[in-house]
Every structure is written in C-alpha cells, then in structure tokens.
Structure 1
Amino acid sequence: MLIKVCGMRDADNIQQVAQLDIDLMGFVFYPQSPRFVKMISSNAGLIPDYSEERLRNANANKQASIASAKEPQRVGVFVDEMPQTIVTRIYNHRLQYVQLHGEESPTMIDNLKRTLIPDIAPNIKVIKALSVASKEDVARYKDYEGLVDLFLFDTRCPTMGGSGKLFDWDVLGAYNGHTPFLLSGGIGPDDAERVRQFDHPMLAGIDLNSRFETEPGRKDVDLLRTFIQQVRG
C-alpha cells in the first residue's frame, strides 16, 4: 500500500511528514491552488530551490537530521501546464513523479515523456489524475492506458482536487485496466477501516491531503501518524 501525502509547502512540516511511513510526497505547482508552491526553502532539505549548490549551503544541522530520515519520492502536481514549465520544475526540484491533474491529452503526455526520457529524467514516472463521479468518468482511463505509470482517481469538483469530499468508490468496479491506481478524494482520519476494506486488484495506494490539514499546505503530523499506523495494520 503506497501512501502519498500531497499539498506540502512549509519547510518544517515537510521535514516532519517525511519522517512518517509514507512513500510519496506531492508538491502542487498549480498557481490557482491554495497549496501552490512558489518556492520551497533549501532548509526543507527534501527538495532544493533552484540548484544543488543552494541545497549544500543550507543549514548544516537541518541537513544532518534530514540525512537520517527516509526520503519519500517527490511528486510534482500540474494542471494543464506548458510542457517546458513541467520540464523546468522536474529539473530544478529533482522530481521523480509528475502528476497531471487537468485535461492533458494522451498526445501531450507522450510528447512530454519523449522530451524527458532518456536525457533529462530517464526514470521519471507519470501519474494521470481522473476526476470521478460516475462509471463514465472512470472509463476515461482507456485513453491513457499503457501511457502512464499510475492513475489517480479523485473526486470530481471545480477546484481540481483538494475538495475534502469522498466519491462513491463502488464506481471503480468499472475499472478494468492494467495500470495500478491511487485512491484519492477526501480520505480523512476516520476512513482507515474503509480503506482497509476496499478491494480492487489494481489498487496501489492512497493519496492524502486536505482532511489532514491545519491550514492549506500544512498537515497535522499526529493525525497522519495515527491514520498511517491504522492503515498499515
């Protein structure tokens, strides 16, 4: 069960959440989001600002504490962004995943991958988010099958994610694809047992965001820790 915590921004909070038993950490590069990352201080340690040099010059004590922590994989979240901007973010922030959360076409994704692989980011992985309210929404996966590494099924809403609202997971019975997926959309502190009971052969993990926040971009570490322990069993 992969666990992704998305919408991170504050340096100290990034350090704290990175020490939990999570696999992926998401950073939102969508200017209209309240969790938009303009720049993350090098003191966050997990990702640099613009260069490795700035990261090396960061506070030595902070670096020592971070070096001993498990580092989650870094995910950049984009919404209908220009490919050249995505490429720049990948390079500057050493992203390992790109999550496309808009109406990106299969052609755009194919071209992006051809630009990145093998010269710029040979190991980059792509997550395609699909907003879901019905079985018909789920069926859109067929356009991207074989092109992306993971799907992310999120609640259909006008805010492009982070709504805090659950969708009816039963509609995912319509998913017959061969690409693993992350379950997203309003999963909160009281949903651990529901997550454990959800059964689908292609379920790879879950995505956590707004229901664990004290404010946009900052997570309640204790709530996350308890929930993760419950989900891990």
Structure 2
Amino acid sequence: MGLLNYSPNRTRVKICGLKTIHDVDAAVAAGVDAVGFVFYPKSPRAVSPQTAAALISRLPAGVDAVGLVVNATDAEFEAIRRVAPITLWQFHGDESPSECQGFAAGQPWIKAARVGADFPFADFSLQYRQADAFLLDALVEGYGGGGIPFDWSGIPEAWISANAHQVVLSGGLNVHNVGDAIARLHPCVVDVSSGVEISKGVKDHALMKEFIQAVRAADASTTS
C-alpha cells in the first residue's frame, strides 16, 4: 500500500470516481498513487463491483485501489469484497468506528469528515483514532464530489501539525489551488474528483495530468 506512506517531500495523489479503462490508464500514466472507485449508487461516478474488478486489474503494483462506500449494508459490502480486490477502504458516510473496523476486516481504512464551521477536529480524530487516515472534505449536500473547497484556515494549526501524516485533503481541489493547499497544510495525500472533470462523472485526461504536475511542482517548491 503506497498511498498512505507519508513523506514530507512527496505528496501522494488519489484520483477518485474513475469509471472507464481509458480513465484508469490515463491516471496511471500520469503518475497517480491511488484510484478511487465509488460504490454509492446515488453518485454519478458509481460503478458496480464487477466493473471495479475489471478496472483494478489494470493497476500496476504500488497503485492502491480505494473502495469508497457510503453507509453500505452488509450485503452491499460483501458483494464488493467478493469480486473487487480493494486494497484500502474509504468510509464516506455515517459509519461508526466499530462499523469501519468490522467492514475493513483488517485492511487499512480512511474515515471521511465533512468539514463545516466549528467542525470538532480533535473529537473526530480521537473517535476514529484506529483509522489509518482522515479525509477532510467540504460539507455539501450529499457525500462528496461537490467541487466546493472548504475554508482550510479553519483547521487548527496544532491539529494539522500533529496529524498531517494521516491527512487526505479533498473538497474542491483543482490545478489552480492544490499548490496552495500543499504549501499551507503539507497533507499526506491530495484527493481530486470533480476538479479533473469536464462534466460531472466525466474525467478529463489532460486535467488529470496537469493536476499531478501541479502537485509535483508544489512539492519541489516546498522542498527548495
């Protein structure tokens, strides 16, 4: 699993919501560290477990296959696990810590937080302390993928300093703002979906490449 291997000099990149072979191949060619597959039927980016399995078969060693679930039932979760070789789980709904632990069944997992005003960062990270990472997303209608950034200045400096090695930053990232996000917060991972799309659920391969180039440029600037 490479996505959550923290390095202060190399921000990992996850592109979420891929649906086609061409999208996956383009993401891999651009240098992605992980690809996210959405198993939330209400999302325009949703895929079936069978489709995800076919797409995951194209990933080279070292590129994580992240399974995003939202309040999935036992049956839905087992249907995914049965056919799709997910390497990392992302819980994006209202799952309790014990539910996350139980569903992950020993595999690494990320808990997403929808960050609004007065979000209780310390309580959240304490409650989900067994998570391998914390994903910070914007508080929007639905569960992620809204393309709306949240106010990063609202993240307590002490919290981000203590938890940067576990932070997956999401929520409205794009080619134009990801460099600023990395310079300010130094997260382990940046996670993009709508920011590399030409329409909801339709990825733009040029934007994916440009996004990863922007991340690498920010890393180089931070290092120097």
Shift of 1:162: 0.5
Identity level (%): 29
Contact 2:12–2:190 under 8 Å retained in 1? yes
- In structure 1, what is the equivalent of residue 156 of structure 2? 173
1:16 and 2:26 equivalent?
Answer: yes
Letter in 2 for 1:103: D
Whose RCO is larger (CA < 8 A, sep 6+)? 2
Residue 183 of structure 1, CA deviation: 0.4
1:2 pairs with 2:9: no
Counterpart among 109, 119, 126 of residue 136 in structure 1: 119
Q: Matched residue of 1:136: which SS? A: coil
Question: Conserved in 2, the CA contact under 8 Å of 1:130 and 1:137?
Answer: no
**How does 1:61-76 map onto structure 2 within 5 Å?**
72-76=63-67
Q: In the alignment, does 2:47 pair up with 1:47?
A: no
Indicate the residue corresponding to 1:120 in structure 2.
none
C-alpha displacement at 1:197, in angstroms?
1.7
Structure 1 residues 2, 135: closer, same or farther in 2, change over 3 A?
farther
Q: Which residue of 1 aligns with 2:214?
A: 230
Match of 2:183 in 1: 197
Q: Distance in 2 between matches of 1:130 and 1:84?
A: 24
> Alpha carbons of 1:103 and 1:133: their partners in 2 closer, same or farther (altered >3 Å)?
same
Paired letter, 1:207: D
Please list the CA deviations of residues 149-194 of structure 1 after superposition, one character each: whole Å capped at 9, or x if unmatched.
0110000011200010000011222636546110000001211331
Partner residue in 2 for 1:149: 132
1:206 and 2:172 matched: no
Q: Match of 1:72, as an amino acid?
A: V
Note the residue ranges of structure 2 that are not aligned, 5 or more in a row.
1-10, 218-224
1:30–1:77 contact (8 Å) kept in structure 2: yes
The equivalent position to 1:186 in structure 2, one of 147, 150, 172, is 172
1:218 to 192, 202, 221: 202
User: Aligned-pair distance for 1:21?
Assistant: 1.1
In the aligned structure 2, how far is the partner of 1:193 from the partner of 1:206? Answer: 10
- Asked whether the 8 Å contact 2:144–2:171 carries over to 1, the reply is yes
The Cα shift of 1:40 comes to 5.3
Q: For residues 95 and 172 of structure 1, what CA distance do their matches in structure 2 show?
A: 30
Verify: 1:33 aligned to 2:29, yes or no: no
Q: Secondary structure at the match of 2:56?
A: coil
Task: Give the Cα–Cα distance (whole angstroms) in 2 for the partners of residues 148 and 193 of structure 1.
Answer: 26
1:72 Cα deviation after fit:
2.1
Which runs of 5 or more residues in structure 1 are unaligned? 49-65, 118-123
**Is the Cα contact below 8 Å between 1:130 and 1:138 reproduced in 2?**
no
